[in-house]
A = this chain, B = another copy of it.
Amino acid sequence: MKRIYMDYSATTPVKQEVLDAMMPYFTENFGNASSIHGFGQEAKRALESARATIAATMGTTPETLYFTAGGSESDNWALKGVMRANKAKGNHLITTTIEHHGILHTCNALEKEGFEVTYLEVDDKGLISLEALEAAITEKTVMISIMFINNEIGTMQDVKSIGEIARKHKVIFHTDAVQAYGNVKIDVDTFNIDLMSVSSHKIYGPKGVGALYIRKGIKIQNIIEGGAQERNRRAGTENVVGIVGFAKAAELAEAQLDEHIKRLSGLRDRLAKGIIENIDYSRYNGHPTQRHPGNVSVCFEFIEGEGLLLMLNAKGIAGSSGSACTSGSLDPSHVLLAIGLPHEIAHGSLRLSMGDFTTEEDVDYAIESLKEVVHKLRMMSPLYDRVAGGK
């Protein structure tokens, strides 16, 4: 059977070049990067060269880049680390209602510790209001954390303006760039970003590796204490293999960025158009243009997302959904509700996210399959006959 992967925003396959780069570090150059013998020094060199490679793709220098176990750890570290270290300055954090749970649940934990959090709302396209952001800043505001690109609806914020506002008010600016990094050009200085979370497995690198960019001078506490790795800021034997893979993936992403964006946007627009034009009672979520190049988020009325995913899967298509049923929760995705969709529509959501191995044929096959599957589910739906009973 055909197998078409359209869930690149969930995770990506490791590219062959990336795996090739990693191979020597499993069995041969396997040393502990903190050891002073040859095995260790080889590992150290690989580690520091990886750090330099990744730092360069963000327009920064190696000593501002700290490796972690992934996007979630980076998010936790950025928020807990900065808020706890800057109590003298204040106790207020500003974020949005559409952040990843790595941010939102960390905010909840911080609220329990006594910090205050403002959650900015977004409009129907998923954009925050810059005026509302500026108005939310108080004397006690330590930090703003706003995601670069939303993982579900693909909307990209005006990060540059957010950075300017943060800088103007001398507030620290963190961005969760897990979905953005590798899919859009990022320069931490241009955007006035003070901390930035990224994750390897979203850009064709291995899982279990990420990084946190920390601008020089930012006060931050550790969340994982122990050995002096990562310049005393993040303990644990360095995952050299993973970091080397991450760096190779970052290097490829950087080198192919323009082409990657161009190709993917073409596929994205073709898929979105094909769906909206061919399937009635469907809607395209997120911003029409200011969005992730590979993200198509749609809602189909009268049907539920999990069934849709399963039927697509039976046709060999792998997608994801903000449906409540995929998560076992009562409510559909907080992001879809935040952009103002009613529950019943949010339940019928589908995210197809494309990547470097997606082809036009895949897109066309997905459109055809969707037509069939949506129709089949609607024919079973007690909601559809109410509107389309006569058809």
Contacts and interface: CB of A to CB of B under 8 A. Distances in A.
Contact of A31 (B15, B239, B317, B318): B318
* Chain A: number of interface residues, binned into ranges: 35 or more
Contact of A102 (B226, B239, B313): B226
A100 B228 CA distance: 12
Contacts of A235: 72, 76, 101-102, 105
Interface string A290-331: 000000000000000010011011000111100000110000
Contacts of A225: 72, 76, 101-102, 105-106, 108-109
A237 B36 CA distance: 33
Contact of A69 (B69, B109, B240, B310): B69
A226 B75 contact: yes
Contacts of A108: 225
A206 interface: yes
A71 B236 contact: yes
A168 interface: no
Given A32-B10, A72-B236, A318 B106 contact: no
Contacts of A106: 225-226
Contact of A309 (B3, B36, B201, B206): B36
State the copy count for this chain: 2
Given A76-B223, A226-B106, A235-B101, A32 B13 contact: no
A314 B302 CA distance: 72
Contact of A72 (B19, B30, B227): B227
B318 A226 contact: no
A278 interface: no
Contacts of A71: 236-237
Nearest to A67: B208
Nearest to A226: B102
B40 A206 contact: no
Interface of A: 3, 5, 7, 10-16, 19, 26-28, 30-32, 34-40, 68-73, 75-76, 100-103, 105-106, 108-109, 199, 201, 206-209, 222-228, 235-242, 306, 309-310, 312-313, 317-320, 326-327
Given A13-B28, A36-B306, A70-B237, 14 more contacts: A7-B31, A10-B31, A10-B237, A11-B31, A13-B30, A35-B320, A69-B69, A70-B236, A100-B226, A102-B225, A105-B235, A199-B237, A208-B242, A223-B224
